[in-house]
Amino acid sequence: MNERYKELEKQCTKQQIDYDVGKMYDQVDHRKLAELIVRECALVVFKKTGPKSALDVLEHFGVEE
């Protein structure tokens, strides 16, 4: 994946602790990551084609403005 994806993934990652083994691990909020990706796609569409198409993308995936 490209660097932008990695940046979005970092925004959705939380450190958790597994108390059974006493170790930290990263947990990604996949819903939040999907929402950020859809928003990023809508932004690209907006820049290329305008607001109507970008709103169509958000609506298609059920992402609030």
- Please write the tens of the pLDDT for every residue from 32-59: 999 999 999 999 999 999 999 999 999 9
Query: What's the alpha-carbon Rg for the chain, to the nearest Å?
Result: 16
- Supply the pTM of this predicted model: 0.78
Given a cut of 90, whether residue 1 has pLDDT beyond it is no
Cα–Cα–Cα angle for 10, 2, 23, rounded to 5 degrees: 35
Cα–Cα–Cα angle for 11, 32, 54, rounded to 5 degrees: 105
Say how many domains are in the chain.
1
Domain holding 52, by residue range, is 3-61
Measured from the Cβ of residue 54, the count of other Cβ atoms closer than 10 Å reads 20
Q: How far apart are CA 49 and CA 47, in angstroms?
A: 6
